[in-house]
């Protein structure tokens, strides 16, 4: 495994982050525990979850189920908790009563304590805001986060799905309070979704935030989807529409990966890690084979010609703003 610092912090995390959103809804608790054990064996020490993960149509599903699965895994001992850098999130509504969501000081306090209880731990390494709250002032948010840091309940604060100007506004407000502010941003980022290159990536680079991309395989489009269909796997209606829209690009991409002698999913992950602002893409394996396969991406390197070809297949917005659309 390869490791890097999370943004401007002294915290070392693995170059791949284990996403847990499938734990509960798609992956049984037993299999989820086995995947986390396998991740540690592979050297992955960076796990991501959220307080709302765990809901599906089955019996016993509920918000917080995924955190509970992780908590019961930690309770097995063998230094599992000590080996993991855990990032969880708050923002979404956890109930129908007022103040059970978003980023008021009251909900930040309650949500953190509830996550700690479900996770069976005394602290959260990286407490992430799952979305920007346009109704709550930064003075209130940072006061609440500072209190959690003083109490030892959280160590770092991160954001998710923030725009570049949100990151700037948040960290300038933190600076006025002599608080560290945001250290990471979790954004939707992949070869076929490069919007954040305009503003979010430049903001993260300037403020020293580590970028943690979610949906690094473009919802499956970059995972060798055409080959899988040829092998008899059925695509959902939504996936089929996406394939029809991007078929020529996907064909060119899968041919490019074949010429490289690499799997499309591995190339997509490696391309993200080639960006120095990116800390670790989030992978969401459902099987041991998928987790093992993702490790190959750590060893893939690109020539300048190959990177140029990928830009031709999956064009970005044209760089950072304003040059992306103006002179």
Residue 253 known to be catalytic: no
Give the CA dihedral 41, 125, 212, 199, nearest 10 degrees.
-170
Considering 53, 91, 156, 189, which one is annotated as catalytic? Answer: 53
Alpha-carbon distance of 138 to 174, in angstroms, equals 8
Structure tokens at 76: 């097995």
Write phi, then psi, for 264 (nearest 5 degrees): -55, -40
Beta pairing, strands 85-90 & 124-129: parallel
Alpha-carbon distance of 219 to 223, in angstroms, equals 9
Structure tokens at 85: 């850098």
Measured in whole angstroms, the distance separating CA 286 from the mean position of its chain's CA atoms is 16
Alpha-carbon distance of 55 to 52, in angstroms, equals 7
Contact between 286 and 19 under an 8 Å Cβ cutoff? The reply is: no
Instruction: Indicate the SS3 state at residue 322.
Output: coil
Q: 135: Cβ–Cβ under 8 A, 6 or more apart, which residues?
A: 102
Structure tokens at 244: 């029809």
Q: Could you give the C-alpha distances from 326 to 165, 292, 317, 320, 321, in angstroms and in order?
A: 19, 43, 11, 10, 8
Write phi, then psi, for 310 (nearest 5 degrees): -65, -35
What is the full DSSP assignment across 253-272?
HHHHHHHHTS-HHHHHHHHH
Contact between 101 and 94 under an 8 Å Cβ cutoff? The reply is: yes
Active site residues: 53
């Amino acid at each position: 495994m390869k490791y890097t610092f999370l943004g401007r912090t002294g915290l070392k995390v693995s170059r791949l982050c284990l996403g847990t959103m499938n734990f509960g809804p798609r992956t049984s608790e037993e299999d989820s525990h086995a995947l986390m054990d396998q991740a540690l064996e592979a050297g992955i020490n960076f796990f991501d979850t959220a307080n709302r993960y765990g809901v599906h149509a089955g019996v016993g599903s509920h918000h917080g189920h995924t955190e509970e699965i992780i908590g019961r895994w930690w309770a097995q001992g063998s230094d599992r908790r000590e080996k993991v850098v855990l990032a969880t999130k708050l923002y979404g509504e956890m109930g129908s009563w007022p103040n059970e969501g978003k980023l008021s000081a009251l909900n930040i306090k309650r949500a953190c304590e509830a996550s700690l209880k479900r996770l069976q731990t005394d602290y959260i390494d990286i407490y992430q805001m799952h979305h920007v709250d346009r109704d709550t002032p930064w003075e209130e948010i940072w006061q609440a986060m500072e209190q959690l840091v003083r109490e030892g309940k959280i160590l770092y604060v991160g954001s998710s799905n923030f725009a570049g100007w949100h990151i700037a506004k948040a960290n300038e407000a933190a600076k006025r309070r002599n608080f560290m502010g945001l250290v990471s941003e979790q954004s939707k980022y992949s070869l076929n979704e490069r919007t954040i290159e305009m503003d979010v990536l430049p903001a993260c680079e300037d403020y020293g935030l580590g970028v943690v991309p979610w949906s690094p395989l473009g919802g499956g489009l970059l995972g060798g989807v055409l080959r899988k269909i040829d092998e008899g796997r059925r695509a959902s209606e939504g996936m089929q529409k996406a394939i029809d829209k991007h078929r020529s690009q996907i064909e060119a991409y899968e041919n490019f990966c074949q010429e490289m002698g690499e799997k499309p999913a591995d190339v997509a992950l490696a391309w993200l890690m080639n960006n120095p602002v990116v800390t670790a893409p989030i992978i969401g394996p459902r099987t041991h084979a998928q987790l093992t396969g993702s490790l190959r991406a750590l060893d893939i390197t690109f020539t300048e010609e190959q990177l140029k070809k990928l830009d031709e297949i999956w064009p970005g917005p044209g760089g950072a703003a304003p040059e992306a659309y103006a002179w």
